[in-house]
Amino acid sequence: MKIVETKGKIAEDGSIILPPGVLKNMRVEAGDTVSLAYLTHHPVKAINSYGEFFISKDGIDHLEETVESPEQTELQLPHELLEAAGIPLEGDLDIRCVPGAILIGNNDPLFTVNQPLLSMLSAVGIPMDEIYAALAEGGYYYDEE
């Protein structure tokens, strides 16, 4: 399977203007019904999360066999990125998802990113395990006393 990309324009009335030949290459004609598909991460609304969509003559039901689901995809990072971060190419990666960011490191990236804050809280006498537990739960520290 090969993805071919072309550019079009959105007209004032919201219709999509495609360059000559696109419909012929898709094997559709003016007036044919096509399906539009896009990705959303919103839990309720069908918001187009990436501002991208896919036009298909037959819909997306037939694609399930050829498109990998997110659980089956492999994360690949450019070697230049790993080297710039000082992460060994053959090392194991620790990946943490936090609101608004994905942290990747060869050590616990949450600890590394929060090191200045951790040092300050530790200096005022809050035990490190309590600080780390609070950060892992969303960043709030509650003193139970």
**Tens of pLDDT along 79-126?**
888 888 888 888 778 777 777 778 787 776 666 766 777 788 888 988
Q: What is the DSSP letter of 107?
A: S
Number of Cβ within a 10 Å radius of residue 34: 13
Predicted pLDDT at 67: 47
Given a contact cutoff of 8 angstroms between Cβ atoms, the answer to whether 88 and 79 are in contact is no
Instruction: Please compute the mean of the pLDDT values over residues 32-60 and round it to a whole number.
Output: 78
Instruction: Please compute the mean of the pLDDT values over residues 15-34 and round it to a whole number.
Output: 85
Given a contact cutoff of 8 angstroms between Cβ atoms, the answer to whether 58 and 41 are in contact is no
Predicted pLDDT at 12: 92
Consecutive H or E run containing 116: helix 115-123
- In this structure, what token pair is assigned to residue 114? 């929060």
Predicted pLDDT at 16: 85
Is pLDDT at 26 greater than 90 in this prediction? Answer: no
Consecutive H or E run containing 103: strand 101-105
Query: Beta partners for 95?
Result: 104
Given a contact cutoff of 8 angstroms between Cβ atoms, the answer to whether 18 and 4 are in contact is no
Is pLDDT at 75 greater than 80 in this prediction? Answer: no
Distance CA 89, CA 93 (A): 10
The predicted-structure confidence for 119-141, as pLDDT tens digits, reads as follows: 888 889 888 788 777 766 665 55
Is pLDDT at 64 greater than 90 in this prediction? Answer: no
Average pLDDT of the chain to the nearest whole number: 76
Dihedral over alpha carbons 89, 90, 92, 98 (to 10 degrees) = 10
Predicted pLDDT at 13: 93
* The overall pTM is greater than 0.85: no
Distance CA 52, CA 8 (A): 12
